[in-house]
Each structure stands twice: as structure tokens, then as C-alpha cells.
């Protein structure tokens, strides 16, 4: 399997569903679709559509001043849903800050994600509930964490034979982008992973743009080719083809779980929207640049296939639109109702154990704030220990 995957990486891009919705066959990866039935295919589409609707609602919330910032993912839904749906619940995921679609596949509730962008939390959700780590804002800093986590997994699984590894093994996924592929920590994470043969899948969404800088500035060769330099398989996949992404990621995860070591996947996709809501893509790319990617839209592609094969009818798409609007309304309602954070919570979360400076500064802060209390509360607070 390894040799095939490596051979694929250098020249080709795995594609199982063409932009016209035509299903292709691939001896290596098509078998992973054998068990994907109509319901799961509709589920893929539903995940992508809901993710896009969420993305639109969050963008609107930012425009309305309810979020400090939003990081759109439009165009990357297939790469995210396809890879996320390939993981098992026991696998552990290290996302970048744009993995809202992967989060959906890990059952992270959409409103929770907005806590980060509404200035309420730097973590958003509890990673231990769904094995989906917090967003990391420093590019590529999460990459060695993923490798290290996988090294921990190896130690937990010490002594397991191949059969048990294949059946019960855990894999780790490290998401990153074409921009962060240039960071030193990406390199180091791959060196450590190769050195330890750690069960980690490096999943790159090459969305062609690092804010304003095109891919060619980061690399002169497909990123998947770099895997050969580390000594593990690298696979280039059509990132707007959810079936190919799903199949390739399934293969990679099974390879990693069963003791085969790391895999690098480069999903070719396109950031159809801005880098963030603070970005202005008209400064660095034109509608002519964007135009070729329109017909490659991952949702259109799967919709064509579902309709052509009679796997989804008009009612399905109509109901999905209704469900999307309901989800968006709930996201908005819950996001606007988040409890406000307090600075006291910030004091409490710096250290696990008692810390004299934290205690001293928190006491100062309380006294200072109490000085602004009105006359009635001041009377009460005068009784507090100083």
C-alpha cells in the first residue's frame, strides 16, 4: 500500500468524483466507498451545507458587530467534512483556527465555537469531550503537539500486536495549511513523527492562499512530495471531492493506527472567501483568479452526483435549507446570550496551584473595582477583609 501511495503523490491527485459529478474508480481508494451508502452520502452533503450556513451566519454576526473576527472556510467544506468523517471517536484531532467543518464532525456544538470570536474564551469548548483540541492561533504550533500526543498513544499501546493495533489503535490528525507548511514546527513535527513512527496523519488543506501570498511563495513542489523526504507516504487529493478526501483519509488513518507510521495528505482546495473578516482579497486577487474554482465548489459537485443518481430529491434539499436556517437562528440566539466572562476567571486560570502573585493582584483588582461601587454596595463591601 505504501509504495502505491508514494507513487501517487509524486504525479497525481486522487479524485473519485469529478466536478461534473461523475464517479471515478481507483483500485486503492474506491474500496473505502463500498460501505458508503445513500444515507451517508446525504449526510456528507448535509454536513457541508450546514457548515456553509454556519459560516455565513458567523460572517453576518461579525459584520453586525457581534463577533470581533470570523475566519471563513467557504470552499473547504469537502476537505474538512471528508477528513473529519473518516476519523473515529477515539482519534484525537489538532485543528488550526479554520476547522469549523471538522468540528461539526466531532460534535462540537457550533455556538460554542463563537465563544472564541466573541471575546469570551480563548478555548471555546472542552477538547476532552470530543477529542477535538482547541484552536491554535500561532501557525503550526499545534503540529508538534499532535506528534507528541501520538507518541503518548504509542506508549499507551506498547506491546500491542498488529491485529490489536488495527482493531483498537488510535490515530492523531494534525491539520495545517499551505502557509503554515513553511513554519519550522511543521518540519520538526514531521521529523519527530518519522523518527518515532508515530500514528499521526498530517492533513494539509492547501487553499492556495496564505492571506495575500500565493502558494508558489511557500513551495515550488506539491507539499505531498515533501513526505518522501521524511520517509513516509504523501498523498495529494482533490480537496473539493469529499469522496476522495474521505477515502484517502480513511486509508491514512488505518495506516497510522495499525503501526505504519505517519502519513501526509495534501488536499487541493480553495479559500473562496477572505482569510478573515478583516481581510480584503480584492487587494491581491481578481474575480478572474477566483473564477476557475467556482465550478469546483464541493457542494455543487456532490449535489450533482446525488441528483443524477436519484439519491436525494428536491424535498431533501428544501428541508436542509429549513434546517440550516433553524440552526443559524439557534447559533445567533445562543451566541448573543453567552454569559459575559469576568477578569476574575482569567486570574483563576493562569495556574493550577496556589500562586502568591495571582492572589495579591486579584485582591488588588477586587479592591479597585469595589471603589467604583455605588453607595449602597460600598457599605457592604467595607465589611470585607482588606
Partner 1 sequence: MTTMTMAKALSAGLRRVLEQNPKSLLIGEDIGRLGGVYRITEGLMADFGTDRVVDSPLAEAGIIGTSIGMSLRGYAPIAEIQFDGFVFPGFNQITTQLAKMRARSEGRFGAPVVVRIPYGGGIGSIEHHSESPEALFAHTAGLRIITPSNPNDAYWMIQQAVACQDPVIFFEPKRRYWLKGEVDTTTPARDAFSAQIVREGTDATIATYGPLVPVALAAAEAATEDGRNIEVIDLRSISPIDFDTVVASVQKTGRLIVTHEAPTFGGIGGEIAARVSERAFLSLEAPVIRVGGFHMPYPVAKVEEQYLPDIDKLLDALDRSFDY
Residue 198 beta carbon to partner 1: minimum distance, rounded to whole angstroms: 9
Of the residues 59, 121, 258, 273, which one makes contact with partner 1 according to CB under 8 A: 121
In the chain, the largest separation of any two C-alpha atoms, in whole Å, equals 79
Instruction: Please tell me the distance from the alpha carbon of residue 292 to that of residue 295, in angstroms, as a whole number.
Output: 7
Site for partner 1 in 153-182 (CB under 8 A): 153, 155-156, 158
Which stretches does DSSP call E strand in the chain?
92-94, 172-177, 200-206, 209-210, 213-214, 234-238, 263-268
**Checking DSSP bridges between strand 92-94 and strand 172-177, what pairing results, if any?**
parallel
Please identify, using beta-carbon distances, which residue of 32 and 230 lies nearer to partner 1: 230
Using rule CB under 8 A, residue 132 touches partner 1: no
Instruction: Please tell me the distance from the alpha carbon of residue 53 to that of residue 50, in angstroms, as a whole number.
Output: 5
Q: Torsion-angle region of residue 65: left (phi > 0), alpha (psi -120 to 50) or beta?
A: left
Please identify, using beta-carbon distances, which residue of 191 and 228 lies nearer to partner 1: 191
Residue 315 makes CB contacts below 8 A (sequence gap 6+) with none
Using rule CB under 8 A, residue 348 touches partner 1: yes
Closest CA to 230 of 254, 207, 200, 257: 200
Residue 304 makes CB contacts below 8 A (sequence gap 6+) with 20, 21
Using rule CB under 8 A, residue 141 touches partner 1: yes
Instruction: Please tell me the distance from the alpha carbon of residue 126 to that of residue 107, in angstroms, as a whole number.
Output: 11
Please identify, using beta-carbon distances, which residue of 126 and 379 lies nearer to partner 1: 126
Residue 138 beta carbon to partner 1: minimum distance, rounded to whole angstroms: 5
Binding residues for partner 1, how many (CB under 8 A)?
A: 44
CA distances for 96 relative to 51, 143, 174, 177, angstroms = 16, 9, 8, 8
Residue 106 beta carbon to partner 1: minimum distance, rounded to whole angstroms: 16
Using rule CB under 8 A, residue 386 touches partner 1: no
Using rule CB under 8 A, residue 119 touches partner 1: no
Q: How many Cβ atoms sit within 10 Å of the Cβ of residue 99? A: 29
Please identify, using beta-carbon distances, which residue of 37 and 229 lies nearer to partner 1: 229
Of the residues 21, 127, 231, 259, which one makes contact with partner 1 according to CB under 8 A: 127
Please choose, out of 61-69, 184-192, 233-241, 368-376, the segment that lies near partner 1 by the rule CB under 8 A. Answer: 184-192
Please choose, out of 57-65, 186-194, 204-212, 257-265, the segment that lies near partner 1 by the rule CB under 8 A. Answer: 186-194
Give backbone dihedrals phi and psi of 177, rounded to 5 degrees, phi first. Answer: -125, 175
Please identify, using beta-carbon distances, which residue of 66 and 157 lies nearer to partner 1: 157
Please identify, using beta-carbon distances, which residue of 38 and 350 lies nearer to partner 1: 350
Q: Binding mask 58-97 vs partner 1 (x if CB under 8 A, - otherwise)? A: ----------------------------------x-----
Q: Binding mask 187-206 vs partner 1 (x if CB under 8 A, - otherwise)? A: -xx-xx--x-----------
Using rule CB under 8 A, residue 185 touches partner 1: yes
Using rule CB under 8 A, residue 122 touches partner 1: yes
Site for partner 1 in 327-346 (CB under 8 A): 345-346
Give backbone dihedrals phi and psi of 178, rounded to 5 degrees, phi first. Answer: -65, -35
Please identify, using beta-carbon distances, which residue of 98 and 133 lies nearer to partner 1: 133
C-alpha cell at 157: 499501546
Closest CA to 97 of 116, 76, 120: 116
Residue with cell 473519485: 16
**Checking DSSP bridges between strand 209-210 and strand 213-214, what pairing results, if any?**
antiparallel
Which stretches does DSSP call E strand in 34-140?
92-94
Closest CA to 268 of 10, 4, 14, 11: 14
Of the residues 148, 179, 199, 260, which one makes contact with partner 1 according to CB under 8 A: 148
Of the residues 123, 130, 365, 366, which one makes contact with partner 1 according to CB under 8 A: 123
The number of residues making up the chain comes to 386
Which residues contact partner 1 by CB under 8 A? 92, 121-123, 126-128, 133-134, 136, 138, 141, 143-153, 155-156, 158, 184-185, 188-189, 191-192, 195, 345-346, 348-353, 355-357
Amino acid at each position: 500500500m505504501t509504495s502505491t501511495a508514494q507513487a501517487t503523490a509524486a504525479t497525481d491527485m486522487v479524485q473519485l468524483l469529478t466536478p461534473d459529478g461523475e464517479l471515478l474508480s481507483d483500485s486503492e481508494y474506491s474500496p473505502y466507498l463500498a460501505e458508503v451508502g445513500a444515507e451517508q452520502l446525504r449526510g456528507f452533503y448535509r454536513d457541508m451545507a450546514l457548515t456553509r450556513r454556519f459560516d455565513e451566519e458567523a460572517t453576518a454576526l461579525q459584520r453586525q458587530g457581534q463577533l470581533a473576527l470570523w475566519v471563513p472556510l467557504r470552499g473547504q467544506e469537502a476537505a474538512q467534512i471528508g477528513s473529519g468523517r473518516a476519523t473515529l471517536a477515539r482519534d484525537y484531532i489538532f485543528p488550526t483556527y479554520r476547522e469549523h467543518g471538522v468540528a461539526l464532525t466531532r460534535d462540537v456544538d457550533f455556538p460554542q465555537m463563537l465563544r472564541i470570536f466573541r471575546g469570551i474564551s480563548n478555548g471555546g469548548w472542552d477538547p476532552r469531550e470530543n477529542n477535538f483540541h482547541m484552536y491554535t492561533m500561532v501557525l503550526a504550533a499545534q503540529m508538534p503537539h499532535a506528534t507528541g500526543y501520538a507518541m503518548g498513544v504509542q506508549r499507551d499501546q506498547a506491546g500491542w500486536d498488529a491485529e490489536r493495533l488495527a482493531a483498537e489503535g488510535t490515530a492523531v490528525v494534525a491539520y495545517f495549511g499551505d502557509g503554515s507548511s513553511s513554519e519550522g514546527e511543521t518540519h520538526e513535527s514531521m521529523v519527530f513523527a518519522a523518527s518515532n513512527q508515530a500514528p499521526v496523519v498530517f492533513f494539509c488543506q492547501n487553499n492556495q492562499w496564505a492571506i495575500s501570498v500565493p502558494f508558489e511563495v511557500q513551495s515550488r513542489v506539491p507539499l505531498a512530495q515533501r513526505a518522501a523526504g521524511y520517509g513516509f507516504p504523501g498523498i495529494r487529493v482533490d480537496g473539493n471531492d469529499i469522496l476522495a478526501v474521505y477515502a484517502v483519509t480513511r486509508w491514512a488513518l488505518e495506516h497510522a493506527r495499525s503501526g505504519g507510521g505517519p502519513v501526509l495528505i495534501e488536499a487541493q482546495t480553495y479559500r473562496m472567501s477572505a482569510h478573515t473578516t478583516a481581510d480584503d482579497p480584492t487587494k491581491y486577487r481578481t474575480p478572474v483568479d477566483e473564477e476557475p474554482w467556482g465550478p469546483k465548489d464541493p457542494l455543487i459537485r456532490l449535489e450533482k452526483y446525488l441528483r443524477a443518481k436519484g439519491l436525494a430529491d428536491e424535498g431533501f434539499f428544501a428541508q436542509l435549507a429549513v434546517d440550516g436556517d433553524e440552526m443559524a437562528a439557534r447559533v445567533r440566539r445562543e451566541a448573543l446570550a453567552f454569559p459575559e466572562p469576568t477578569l476574575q476567571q482569567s486570574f483563576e486560570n493562569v495556574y493550577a496551584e496556589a500562586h502568591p502573585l495571582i492572589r495579591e493582584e486579584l485582591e488588588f483588582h477586587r479592591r479597585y473595582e469595589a471603589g467604583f461601587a455605588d453607595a449602597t454596595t460600598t457599605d457592604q463591601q467595607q465589611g470585607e477583609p482588606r
